[in-house]
């Protein structure tokens, strides 16, 4: 019965990874043997480039000018 538990866990992990979490989907995965197939790693996407994204430096303790731009870097005191 240990193999049944392992198969169920593998099918559940695949269901979560693919977003197919219904009973019918998990049952289908088990019937088709997909629980024994390796999960493909999700494709790495490049970070978004957008003028509204500030980056990590924006949230560091620093002096900012009137436009919100960092003028000098300070060490985190914590």
Query: Are the beta carbons of 25 and 40 closer than 8 angstroms?
Result: no
Largest CA distance in the chain: 67
Query: Are the beta carbons of 74 and 62 closer than 8 angstroms?
Result: yes
pLDDT tens track, the chain, 78 positions: 677 788 889 999 999 988 888 999 999 999 999 888 888 877 788 877 777 777 777 776 656 666 766 665 554 444
DSSP symbol at 47: P
Where in the chain are the domains?
A: 1-37
- CA neighbor of 73 nearest in space, from 54, 53, 56, 52: 56
Please state whether the predicted TM-score (pTM) of the whole model is above 0.75: no
């Amino acid at each position: 019965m240990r193999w049944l538990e392992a198969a169920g866990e593998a099918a559940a992990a695949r269901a979560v990874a693919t977003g197919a979490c219904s009973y019918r989907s998990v049952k289908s995965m088990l019937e088709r043997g997909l629980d024994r197939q390796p999960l493909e790693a999700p494709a790495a996407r490049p970070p978004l480039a957008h003028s509204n994204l500030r980056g990590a430096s924006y949230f560091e303790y620093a002096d900012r000018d009137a436009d919100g731009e960092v003028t000098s870097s300070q060490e985190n005191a914590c």
